[in-house]
Chains A and B, each alone.
Chain A
Amino acid sequence: DTGVSQDPRHKITKRGQNVTFRCDPISEHNRLYWYRQTLGQGPEFLTYFQNEAQLEKSRLLSDRFSAERPKGSFSTLEIQRTEQGDSAMYLCASSFGSYWETQYFGPGTRLLVL
């Protein structure tokens, strides 16, 4: 396994701009998750896919956030009209099978909104 990869690793943007992050899960993992981690906090769940279907969304995921997983492979997370409060580390994880299976995390994308 090559592991979960995320791109870019770092992103600096100005308030009001749109940004898009990509996550490539471990191949054949059918479940993909997005979490957000702010300074001094643990990761917080944002959304989750089973194959291409988005099955759960957190209340943290405002309508400025949209996530897709076309064809059940890679996933993108887009933030429209970024705000300074969106500055955080965005983590992607993937797993295969049931809920007790390990979620494997990528290195994250660190977003700074100026």
Chain B
Amino acid sequence: AQSVTQLDSQVPVFEEAPVELRCNYSSSVSVYLFWYVQYPNQGLQLLLKYLSGSTLVKGINGFEAEFNKSQTSFHLRKPSVHISDTAEYFCAVTLGGSGAGSYQLTFGKGTKLSVIP
């Protein structure tokens, strides 16, 4: 079974500073990787996803993530954060394919990003 670890439960960062939110996964088969963001009182929204191809994936709101197969990581980065980026961020994986579990997302526990003015 696959699993996702988000090592940092909370990350405070000053406005306009860079940020990296870490995500590591564990799976015996190939996985597909996602980052979702959850703003207060709103549903989860997809930031970006990695399916195949280039390991550097660009998403919405200036976020990007890099897939590293050897380190089983998919860290999320942004070069300069804004107050509006304050939210909770979830890393998720799915197995893909046509077998059992191929459609369900397995999420990490989330990282709360707090942007300080």
Any B CB within 8 A of the CB of A25: no
Answer whether A106 and B43 are a contact pair too, CB < 8 Å, given A56-B100, A56-B101, A56-B104.
Answer: yes
Contact-residue size bin, chain B (C-beta under 8 Å from the other chain): 20 to 34
Residues 21-58 of chain A: 1 if any B CB is under 8 Å from the residue's CB, otherwise 0? Answer: 00000000001010100001111110010000001101
Chain A contacts for B90, CB-based, 8 A = 42-43
B78-117 contacts to A, CB under 8 A, are 90, 92, 94-97, 100-110
Residues 43-56 of chain B: 1 if any A CB is under 8 Å from the residue's CB, otherwise 0? Answer: 11110010100000
Chain A contacts for B101, CB-based, 8 A = 56
Per DSSP, chain B at the interface is loop
Summed over the interface, the residue pairs from A and B with CB atoms below 8 Å come to a total of: 66
B68 CB to nearest chain A CB (Å)? 20
Answer whether A45 and B106 are a contact pair too, CB < 8 Å, given A99-B32, A100-B51.
Answer: yes
**Pair A43/B44 contact, Cβ less than 8 Å:** yes
Chain B contacts for A108, CB-based, 8 A = 43
B17 CB to nearest chain A CB (Å)? 25
CA distance A4 to B108 in the complex (A): 22
Any B CB within 8 A of the CB of A105: yes
B101 CB to nearest chain A CB (Å)? 7
Any B CB within 8 A of the CB of A13: no
Chain A contacts for B95, CB-based, 8 A = 99
Chain A contacts for B36, CB-based, 8 A = 105
B65 CB to nearest chain A CB (Å)? 15
**Pair B103/A48 contact, Cβ less than 8 Å:** yes
Any B CB within 8 A of the CB of A73: no
Chain A contacts for B110, CB-based, 8 A = 40-42
Chain A contacts for B71, CB-based, 8 A = none
Residues of B within 8 A of A (CB): 4, 6, 9, 32, 36, 41-46, 49, 51, 90, 92, 94-97, 100-110
Residues of A within 8 A of B (CB): 3-4, 31, 33, 35, 40-45, 48, 55-56, 58, 91, 93, 95, 99-100, 102-108
